[in-house]
A and B are shown apart, each in its own frame.
Chain A
Amino acid sequence: VGQCGNQVGCRFWDLALREHANVNKKGIYDEALSSFFRNVDTRSGGDGPDTYKEKICSLKARALLIDMEEGVVNEILQGPLRDVFDGKQLITDVSGSGNNWAVGHKLYGSRYQENLVEKLRKAAEHCDCLQCFFIIHSMGGGTGSGLGTFVLKLLEDEFPEVYRFVTSIYPSGEDDVITSPYNSVLAMKELNEHADCVLPIENESLFGIVNKVHQMANSGKLGSTVKQNSLVTSSAGSAKTVQEKPFDAMNNILANLLLNLTSSARFEGSLNMDLNEISMNLVPFPRLHYLVSSLTPLYTLADVNVPSRRLDQMFSDAFSRDHQLIQADPKHSLYLACALLVRGNVQVSDLRRNIERLKPSLHFVSWNQEGWKTGLCSVPPVGHSHSLLALANNTCVKPTFIELKDRFMKLYKKKAHLHHYLHVDGMEQSCFSEAISSLSDLIEEYNELDATKGGPRTDPSRLKI
């Protein structure tokens, strides 16, 4: 939803095709492909059922592209991915949301509600078994933030049993949209109440990764040529080759995040990890569903041999701030739970060895001292022999939320720009007070957990029979 959401989405579909093409040499439409794509026989109008085990005719993304401006979506439809989407999967408008959450949520929400429900139902009907919705959006603007969270609420109402994963780009302190704190906090309330899992992302982190990769790729050090298609930031080998736009590198990182997140659900492995397992294991209390993600490796060197030392380095990197997609400090905060999704030629002993090695330097909450969820997927990402995605439910997200709250309060106290919101039909002052209250409650929940950190460990006495 929105400009950011669609730009990331575009990269995602491109890299998804690349990943499947890498694995699926025979061009047969298989179960792995069917998780994200439909196989459409364009002769029959594209509404027939999917055909497994047959040759790929025309792959269509299981997606809805929503934007209240036409520019980004039009560009996608004219670019190399145009055949991956069909016209019935779009909802666009002309004037945009003016960076106003209320316009996105209340105005466009009510205007497009029926249309949205209809298109969602249609897309769901094309699925044998619908497990999960992914929403990609940014928090700081108007469409992604406002309409995006409207769609989230709609999904909960219409499909209550289907998991809702949200990838949210949080604005930085120097964001050039003045009202981004309003938009973000208003959106946070919706995320608190209606999302199963949220992966908060910060541009600063993506930017840092892009720089790091760039340095490495161009350092020209002897013996350190990097495999181009292995860069977490690159589009090499995908449909979109030359014309790289400024945000492409950063968006590729997010696309890779989503691919790794779903790898074990799509491909085989010795210890599968489905999306519903991620939600089950990483969310101990309903509202504490914000996960810090980190990806490694960011690139692979062209020399192939991978001694196990380098494998262990991959695990260490996953716990280094350089590889996180959000600016936070999990090592000095409290882990509630942690998931490790490994891809490629990595076995359970490698996993166990590294968990033992890293555990002592991490603080886990007293009732979850061994709070590790692990998954092993046999298929590595393109260009790599193995990779690791770490998802942590950690109180280190608290400072991000506190900062957001502070920026909100700075504006709100002066009632700056408030009238732009209150003018919108359906928007009232209470929306603001409820939103900030929801955020404060969330921060308080994290505070209570933090208070237990480092305290004396008294296990509750057991049942006496």
Chain B
Amino acid sequence: MSIITVQLGQCGNQIGHEVFNTICSDVRDTHGLCSKKENESYRDACKERFFCEEQSEVPVARAVLVDMEPKVISQTLSMAARSGYWKYDDGSHFCQKQGSGNNWANGYSVHGPRHKEVIMNLVQKEAEKCDRLGGFFTIMSMAGGTGSGLGAFVTQCLRDAFPTSFLLNHVIWPYSTGEVIVQNYNSVLTLSHLYKSADALLVHENDVVHKICAQLMNIKQISFRDINQVIAHQLGSVFQPTYTADGGLHYSRNPLGDLMETLVPHPEFKMLGLRNIPQMPENSLAYSTFSWPGLTKHLRQMLIANAKMEEGIDWQVQPPRLGSSIPSNHSTNKPLHFNTSLANLVILRGKDMHSVDLGSFRDPSLYTSWLNPEDAFHSWKTLRAFNKYEKSASLVSNSQFLLKPLDNVVGKAWNMFASKAYIHQYTKFGIEEEDFLDSFTALEQVISSYTSL
């Protein structure tokens, strides 16, 4: 089954490009460290998922590129074509000249309806190229105007036009110290709207990825390209082919569906966080060895302690002990800083992954009480190494990972809203104070739900 990627706004298009680059480069890599047959299987599964090859010398990404200004798309298309290894379909993009002015209302209420038909036609065209459509993966930033506002509108349209397809939004959380002054407003409006239409939201925080670049990748002058490459690596580690069942004979055909099934048991809980280890500069890879027990131990502690990366993990944090006399859903039972999960997915790529014991992830004390731990935890695996890492372990988690960031964004937006600053910029395009209040209410509900996990 194929996934159609919808790249929205500058951020969405820049990241989308890196994702296809990473996936393509991974597939071309002969260091899969597995048999030739396995490698070919992997490659075929990946190609079906992300690329179309009819009538073209190079694979054509299954993607639709949307932006309200022309420069980024123009650059993205030409960089892809220049790589010589893959490209975008020349007709699969739509752009305008004006931009959205970082104004969510402009993106959602003006550009959305105005360009709905053209954009959905492009999506339809891509969908028709798929033998079987597995769903949509949209990439956008919450902070700006196009990715956020137009992105929210397009997500709604996708849901309406393809009611039975899976819909995953990849959302970029902006730097907390300002990229865009109205980013908190745009974020609140985006999240509340996406929550209604999407199956799940997979989040990357710029602050976190920046730290990874600084401390793990040792990059001195970090550019957005560096940030996007880390994000692309992490996404690739989730969406490249895997076997979802032990003893499975072929690579899973329905990654988005599998993801939703394992991680989103309840519509109130859609916020997914992503962790991937190890992460290091390419030239250090040759000198490093990894062990599965080491990796899984770190990953588990990162989950429990809500660590954003492999450095600085707090080993003091432990799950609450079960069987105590205090009822397990009593909030004071849980130690401070402990991250309660609803559901988790671990993905292992590399040799000897059969030998890995993931029992520690099935520990009931990690999870909220109302789901059976057998249902709450899943793992996907493949022998085939990913992106030059001999062993790679990823965690996609529906847990309290994003509770604090969400609470922060809502708090700051509320603070600004109380002073009514910038509201006139939104009402100008048809988003009124009541719309803001609806969004705030919706997100406070999400915060409350995750808090009570």
Chain A residue nearest to B68 in the complex (CB): A274
Chain B window 175-215, contacts with chain A (Cβ cutoff 8 Å), 1 for yes, 0 for no: 11111111000000000000000000000000000100110
B69 surroundings in chain A (CB, below 8 A): 272, 274
Pick out which of these stretches binds chain A: B217-225, B246-254, B348-356, B366-374.
Answer: B217-225
A286 surroundings in chain B (CB, below 8 A): 424
CB of A373 within 8 A of CB of B441, answer: no
- Which one of B14, B222, B420 has the highest number of Cβ atoms from chain A below 10 Å of its Cβ? B222
Chain A window 121-141, contacts with chain B (Cβ cutoff 8 Å), 1 for yes, 0 for no: 000000011010000000000
Query: Known interface pairs A129-B98, A274-B99. Does A355 touch B177 (Cβ–Cβ under 8 Å)?
Result: yes
Partner pick for A465 among B96, B425, B444, CB 8 A cutoff: B444
Min CB gap B225→A, angstroms: 7
Asked if A305 is at the interface of the complex by the 8 Å CB criterion, the answer is no
Min CB gap A394→B, angstroms: 14
What is the bound-complex CA distance between A453 and B182, given in angstroms? Answer: 21
Min CB gap A32→B, angstroms: 9
Which chain A residues numbered 106 to 132 have a C-beta less than 8 Å away from chain B? 128-129, 131
CB of B414 within 8 A of CB of A463, answer: yes
Chain B residue nearest to A369 in the complex (CB): B412
Query: Known interface pairs A348-B222, A368-B416, A373-B178. Does A277 touch B102 (Cβ–Cβ under 8 Å)?
Result: yes
Query: Known interface pairs A280-B182, A373-B181, A463-B444. Does A270 touch B419 (Cβ–Cβ under 8 Å)?
Result: no
B221 surroundings in chain A (CB, below 8 A): 308, 347, 349-350
- Which one of B72, B225, B419 has the highest number of Cβ atoms from chain A below 10 Å of its Cβ? B419
What is the bound-complex CA distance between A362 and B101, given in angstroms? Answer: 26
B410 surroundings in chain A (CB, below 8 A): 462
What is the bound-complex CA distance between A370 and B179, given in angstroms? Answer: 9
Min CB gap A378→B, angstroms: 10
Asked if A403 is at the interface of the complex by the 8 Å CB criterion, the answer is no
CB of B181 within 8 A of CB of A31, answer: no
CB of A281 within 8 A of CB of B181, answer: yes
CB of B179 within 8 A of CB of A374, answer: yes
CB of B415 within 8 A of CB of A460, answer: yes
Which chain A residues numbered 252 to 306 have a C-beta less than 8 Å away from chain B? 267-268, 270-272, 274, 276-277, 279-286
Min CB gap B391→A, angstroms: 29
Chain A window 357-375, contacts with chain B (Cβ cutoff 8 Å), 1 for yes, 0 for no: 0010000001111111110
B219 surroundings in chain A (CB, below 8 A): 349
B421 surroundings in chain A (CB, below 8 A): 284-285, 336, 367-368
Chain B residue nearest to A336 in the complex (CB): B421
Asked if A356 is at the interface of the complex by the 8 Å CB criterion, the answer is yes
Which chain A residues numbered 303 to 333 have a C-beta less than 8 Å away from chain B? 308
Which chain B residues numbered 438 to 453 have a C-beta less than 8 Å away from chain A? 440-441, 444-445, 448
A281 surroundings in chain B (CB, below 8 A): 102, 180-182
A277 surroundings in chain B (CB, below 8 A): 99, 101-102, 145, 180
CB of B75 within 8 A of CB of A462, answer: no
B225 surroundings in chain A (CB, below 8 A): 270
CB of B224 within 8 A of CB of A129, answer: no
Asked if B304 is at the interface of the complex by the 8 Å CB criterion, the answer is no
Which chain A residues numbered 126 to 177 have a C-beta less than 8 Å away from chain B? 128-129, 131
A31 surroundings in chain B (CB, below 8 A): 70-71
Chain B residue nearest to A376 in the complex (CB): B224
Interface residues on B, range: 35 or more
Number of residues from A at the complex interface, CB < 8 A: 47
Asked if A425 is at the interface of the complex by the 8 Å CB criterion, the answer is no
CB of B97 within 8 A of CB of A129, answer: yes
Asked if A231 is at the interface of the complex by the 8 Å CB criterion, the answer is no
- Which one of A128, A356, A366 has the highest number of Cβ atoms from chain B below 10 Å of its Cβ? A366
Partner pick for A356 among B177, B412, B424, B440, CB 8 A cutoff: B177
Partner pick for B210 among A279, A352, A359, CB 8 A cutoff: A352
Asked if A197 is at the interface of the complex by the 8 Å CB criterion, the answer is no
B181 surroundings in chain A (CB, below 8 A): 281-282, 337, 368, 371-373
A271 surroundings in chain B (CB, below 8 A): 10, 179, 224
Asked if B411 is at the interface of the complex by the 8 Å CB criterion, the answer is yes
Chain A window 442-465, contacts with chain B (Cβ cutoff 8 Å), 1 for yes, 0 for no: 000000000000000001101111
B441 surroundings in chain A (CB, below 8 A): 463, 465
A350 surroundings in chain B (CB, below 8 A): 221
What is the bound-complex CA distance between A268 and B14, given in angstroms? Answer: 12
Asked if B264 is at the interface of the complex by the 8 Å CB criterion, the answer is no
What is the bound-complex CA distance between A276 and B144, given in angstroms? Answer: 12
Min CB gap B188→A, angstroms: 11
CB of B418 within 8 A of CB of A374, answer: no
What is the bound-complex CA distance between A372 and B180, given in angstroms? Answer: 6
- Which one of B178, B411, B437, B445 has the highest number of Cβ atoms from chain A below 10 Å of its Cβ? B178
- Which one of B71, B72, B145, B448 has the highest number of Cβ atoms from chain A below 10 Å of its Cβ? B71
Interface residues of A (CB under 8 A from B): 31, 128-129, 131, 267-268, 270-272, 274, 276-277, 279-286, 308, 336-337, 347-350, 352, 355-356, 359, 366-374, 376, 459-460, 462-465
Given contacts A352-B175, A359-B177, A465-B444, 10 further A-B contacts (CB under 8 A): A129-B97, A268-B71, A272-B99, A279-B101, A284-B421, A349-B210, A349-B219, A355-B178, A369-B412, A373-B178
Can you show 24 pairs from A to B with CB atoms below 8 A apart?
Answer: A270-B223, A270-B224, A274-B101, A281-B102, A281-B181, A282-B181, A283-B425, A285-B424, A348-B223, A348-B224, A350-B221, A352-B177, A352-B210, A367-B415, A371-B178, A372-B177, A372-B178, A372-B179, A372-B181, A374-B179, A459-B411, A460-B414, A462-B444, A463-B440
